[in-house]
Amino acid sequence: MKRPQNIIAEGGLTLPVAALFGIVVWLLSGLVQQRLWLQLACFVATVYVLIELTNQNALLRVRSRMVSSTFIVLSCAASFLLPQMTGGIVQFCFVVAFLLLFQTYQTSHSIGRTFYAFTAIGLASIAFVHVLWYVPVLWILMATQLQSLNWRTWLTSLLGLAMPYWFALLWFLLPFNLSDEWTTDFTPLADHFSKLADIAIQSPITSHLFLGGLLVFILTIILATIGMAHFWQYSFEDKIRIRLLYGFFTAMTAVTVLFILVQPQHFSVLMRLLTLCTSPLIAHVLTFTSSRLSNILFFVALALALALAVFNLLGNV
C-alpha cells in the first residue's frame, strides 16, 4: 500500500516544490543583498549534475527525484553555509568526480574519465587543500566498489590531480611585482600544502559550531544511519552494481563524519560534502519504505529540516 510518503517520493511535483523552497531560502539568505549569484549558480549546477548521476546510475528503482530533493532540503536546512563559495566549489567538483568515476565501474581502461574525475578533485583542492585527504579513500573505493583501479588508472589519477596545479603555477610561483622583475617564490605553494600537515585533533565539535549547525549535523547523521541500515537490510532487492555504489556513498559518509569530528574547524566545507554523500542514502529509505512508522519518520524528518532552515535563517538576521 502506498502511503503519503511514497506518493510524494514518486511524484512529479517533488523536485519543483523542493526547488521553490530552495529559491525562497536563498533569497532569505541574502541572495540579492549580498550578490550571491555565483554561489547560487554553483549550487544549481551541483543539483543538475546530481540529477544526472541519479538517472545514469538508476540509484532509485522507481522514477523519483528524491535524491536531488533531499539534497536541496538538507542544504537549505544548513542555510548559513550557502553564502560560502569554497564549500560550493568543493561540492560541485566532488559531484562531477562521482559522476565520472561511476562511469568507470568494472572498466579498468577508462583512462579519460578517471583523469577528468581527479582533475575535478584537483580543482577542489586548490580551493580547499584538505580534500586531498580523500584521495587515498577514493583509490580504495575504486578498487573495492568500482573495481576500476589498476596501475594505469592510478597513474592517470595522479596526472589528473596535478593538472590544475600546472595551470595555477603562475599564481603560486610567479607573483608579478610592478616595481621589479618576475621572481620565483615557492612560499605560496608551500603554504598551500603545509595546511595538510595540520591534522591534530582540535577542540570538540561543540566549540566550533553554534546550535543550528550542530543540530543539522546530528539530524543528517541520524537520517543517514537509518538510510544505511535500511539499505543494507534490503540490499538484495537491488542489483549488485547499485549495492556497490551505495557502498561507495556509505564509505564516503563514514569518512566525512570522521573528518568533521577530527577537524571540526573545517565543518563549513565538510558538511557540504556530507550532505552530498548522505542524500542518496536518505532518499533511498524515504522512497522504499511504506510502513506507518516510516511514514511518521518521513514527515518528522521533513518538519525538522524545515524548522532548522527557519531557525538558521532567523539566526542570520
Q: What is the three-state SS of the chain?
A: CCCHHHHHHHCCCHHHHHHHHHHHHHHHCCCCCCCCHHHHHHHHHHHHHHHHHHHHHCCCCCCCCHHHHHHHHHHHHCHHHCCCHHHHHHHHHHHHHHHHHHCCCCCCCCHHHHHHHHHHHHHHHHHCHHHHHHHHHHHHHHHHCCCCCCHHHHHHHHHHHHHHHHHCHHHHHCCCCCCCCCCCCCHHHHHHHHHHHCCCCCCCHHHCCCHHHHHHHHHHHHHHHHHHHHHHHCHHHCCHHHHHHHHHHHHHHHHHHHHHHHCHHHHHHHHHHHHHHHHHHHHHHHHHCCCHHHHHHHHHHHHHHHHHHHHHHHHCC
Q: Cβ of 166: how many Cβ atoms within 10 Å? A: 10
pLDDT at 181: 55
What is the distance between the terminal CA atoms of the chain, rounded to a whole angstrom? Answer: 44
Q: What angle do CA 135, 141, 144 make, to 5 degrees?
A: 145
C-alpha grid cell, residue 216: 543539522
Residue type, 126: I
The residue to which cell 543539483 is assigned: 47
Residue type, 270: L
pLDDT at 186: 62
Give every residue of the chain whose pLDDT is below 70, as ranges.
Answer: 1, 170-186, 188, 199-208, 316-317
Summarised one tens digit per residue, pLDDT across range 13-37 is: 999 999 999 999 999 998 989 999 9
C-alpha grid cell, residue 113: 574519465
C-alpha grid cell, residue 104: 568507470
pLDDT at 245: 95
Summarised one tens digit per residue, pLDDT across range 109-130 is: 889 999 999 999 999 999 999 9
Integer angstrom CA distances of residue 76 from 35, 81, 100, 169: 18, 9, 26, 36
The residue to which cell 582533475 is assigned: 119
Kindly tell me the burial class for residue 128, based on how many C-beta atoms sit within 10 Å of its own C-beta (0-12, 13-18, 19 or more): buried
C-alpha grid cell, residue 136: 587515498
pTM of the complete model: 0.92
Do you know the residue count of the chain?
A: 317
Give the span between the Cα atoms of 10 and 113, in whole angstroms. Answer: 31
